[in-house]
Amino acid sequence: MTVPWLPSSLPSWLHDGKPWQNIVDLVQWQDIMTFGHSVLTNQGNDMKNEAMYQAGSLFADSETSADEALEVGARAIGDKPTFDHFMACRAVFVDAYVSRKPNAKGDASDQAWKRFKDRLVAKFAVTIPQAPSKAATKKRAERSAKQEALLKQYEHATPAELTDMLRKQYEAQAKNPMIDDKKINELKAVLKARTKGDQAEQVALLKSLRADVSKLLKACGDPAKLRKVIALLK
């Protein structure tokens, strides 16, 4: 009887005793070895299954995180971003990527941005802006310098004074139609820029004051004071 899986050196108890007893013992030994092999096989399969379950879970998590990253990025970038805004978003993305993977080599961050950008286009149809031409860049710089010079010219005028200047310019033009719109357009541009800045400051101030009032209201336990606040705000 040939048993290929048995070890070359059989247990000593198989060499002694009665032949029929040896056969019975041999069958029992075979059962033990088969059971041991089955246990080892099952343990190996369990380890593989556990590893693959972990792999599947990690992959699902990565896909969920990637989808969330794309949604957040799409909201921040917008459907049709300007080139400057797009490049600013890229800089922030690359900085965050490098901070999470400081050991990444070469152009890993650039390649990550390319994959991210391509998926934004595929999933959210984000328009990737083209870099402006040299002529456009030069023209924009000239326009910016011109605006700065104009704001410098009227830097001491208040919005109320600018509005009064504009009114007088309109009156002068009404009396003399030959007066062109140059002065009017200058005053309108300055007033728009100054008002925009003032509005932003006003919004920031209101936001800060409302936060302070909210904290005080939550901390206040005096009904009389709260009634006074309600009456004041009505």
Q: Which of 113-117, 171-175, 229-233 has the lowest mean pLDDT?
A: 229-233
38 domain-assigned: yes
Same domain, 116 and 154: no
Give me the mean pLDDT over the 55-67 stretch.
Answer: 75
141 domain-assigned: yes
Confidence of residue 229 (pLDDT cuts 50, 70, 90): confident
Give me the mean pLDDT over the 78-94 stretch.
Answer: 89
| The domain boundary residue, chosen from 108, 131, 154 | 131
Give me the mean pLDDT over the 96-118 stretch.
Answer: 85
Which helix (H) or strand (E) is 44 found in, with range?
A: helix 19-77
DSSP labels, 76-116: HH-SS--HHHHHHHHHHHHHHHHHH-TT--TTHHHHHHHHH
Name the residue with higher pLDDT: 188 or 229: 188
Q: How far apart are CA 212 and CA 219, in angstroms?
A: 11
Q: What is the CA 130 to chain-centroid distance, rounded?
A: 22
pLDDT at 123 over 50: yes
pLDDT at position 31 is: 60
Same domain, 71 and 140: no
Q: How far apart are CA 88 and CA 95, in angstroms?
A: 11
Q: Structural domain of residue 156, as residue ranges?
A: 134-233
Name the residue with higher pLDDT: 122 or 19: 122
Confidence of residue 8 (pLDDT cuts 50, 70, 90): very low
Structure tokens at 13: 């108890």
pTM of this prediction exceeds 0.85: no
Long-range contacts of 72-80 (CB under 8 A, 24+ apart): 73/116, 73/120, 74/120, 74/123, 74/124, 74/126, 77/120, 77/126, 78/126, 79/124, 79/125, 79/126, 79/127, 80/127, 80/129
Mean pLDDT of the chain: 77
191 domain-assigned: yes
Same domain, 99 and 139: no
168 domain-assigned: yes
15 domain-assigned: no
Q: Which of 6-20, 33-47, 182-196 has the lowest mean pLDDT?
A: 6-20
| The domain boundary residue, chosen from 72, 98, 131 | 131
Same domain, 125 and 138: no
pLDDT at 25 over 70: no
pLDDT at position 157 is: 84
| The domain boundary residue, chosen from 131, 158, 180 | 131
Same domain, 119 and 144: no
